[in-house]
Amino acid sequence: MRRLNVPLFPLHTVLFPGGVLPLRIFEPRYLDMVSESLRLDSPFGICLIREGHEVGEAANTYDIGTLARINWFERRDDGLLGINVEGGQRFRILTTEVQPNQLIRAEVELLAPEPASAVPADCTPLVALLQGILDQLDFPYAKLERRYEDAAWLGARLTELLPLKLELKQYLLQMDDSLARLERLLAIMESGDFV
């Protein structure tokens, strides 16, 4: 598997391949990271925080995250930098190094993309659920390419958008089987046990 050295952006959210995420950037370390990413057209990694906070000292993260590329940015009225990122390939953290400014750089191993699989007939209620959610959302979600027939895409978008516990979202990100992820989401939907 291919390895990369990337800066990490620890967050209280989970990003999947193909997902979009709007962010507000204000800390100097992340402003520098975004500047470098734009200048070099290079990705950074988004990981769920296991312990710690989004601001201040470097947080402890889960080992599986997703590469992110900036696809839009603006200087906001409140003086902050607004960016939208798109999720790329999943990765596993091999080693980390905390810089003096508390930015984490990581050596990561890219994980194989999930193969495309058709959505099983018993999971069609999940398609209707996601269609209803996306129909209510504005930019950047309104611009998402719709691939409701793709099990990996469907499961990823539902996991990102449903009000699930972050640890469950992380568990679903770490799964390598898109059909098993859909079955888990279907069981959650049928039980109504979202949070």
Domain termination residue (choose one: 110, 129, 149): 110
Q: What average pLDDT does the segment 101-121 reach?
A: 95
Predicted pLDDT at 145: 87
pLDDT over threshold 70, residue 75? yes
134: domain CATH number is 1.10.4060
Among the three residues 110, 133, 167, which one is the final residue of a domain in this structure? 110
Give the mean pLDDT of 22-37: 93
- We report the CATH number of the domain holding residue 89 as 2.30.130.40
- Residue 144 belongs to what domain range? 121-191
Q: Do 21 and 106 belong together in one domain?
A: yes
Residues 78 and 40 occupy one common structural domain: yes
CA–CA separation, 13 vs 64, rounded Å? 13
Q: Is the pLDDT of residue 195 over 70?
A: no
Indicate the length of the chain as a whole number: 195
The pLDDT value given to residue 80:
82
User: Is there a cis peptide before residue 125, judged by omega within 30 degrees of 0?
Assistant: no
Kindly state the average pLDDT of the residues 139-165.
93
The predicted model gives 103-127 an average pLDDT of 95
| pLDDT over 80 at 167, yes or no | yes
Question: What total number of domains does the chain contain?
Answer: 2
Tell me the C-alpha to C-alpha distance, in Å, between residue 92 and each of 3, 8, 74, 87.
9, 12, 30, 15
Are residue 176 and residue 131 in the same domain, yes or no? yes
Rounded-to-integer distance, Cα 157 and Cα 19, Å: 7
Domain co-membership, 52 together with 86: yes
Tell me how far the alpha carbon of residue 70 is from its chain's centroid. 13
- For residues 185 and 159, the answer to whether their CB atoms sit within 8 Å is yes
- Average pLDDT of the chain? 94
Residue 116 lies in a domain: no
Are 81 and 156 part of one and the same domain? no
